[in-house]
Amino acid sequence: MREHLGFLKTSSTVVKIAAWIFLFLGVLGLASAFIKTAGYPKAMVLLGSAIYVFFFFLFFLIAKMADLLIKIINEIKKE
């Protein structure tokens, strides 16, 4: 399991970056709903922003679980 730590660290970082990108897109969509630059109905933009925020929390949770798994593997190897 120790040989997979590099992959876990890299994938955790990539997933965290993807999570922050989703949050940025959600906030950008929400801002466009209030600025009215988009030609879409407000409810549709708000729903899209909510979906982006959901994916942010989902990806961030997955990355945190990978970080926790790394810590558990390191603690097991110390003993």
Note the pLDDT tens digit of each residue in 17-72. Answer: 999 999 998 888 788 777 776 577 777 878 888 898 899 999 999 999 999 998 99
d(CA 76, CA 71): 9
**Rounded Cα distance, 50 and 29, in Å:** 10
User: Is pTM, for the whole model, over 0.85?
Assistant: no
Q: How many CB atoms lie within 10 A of CB 55?
A: 17
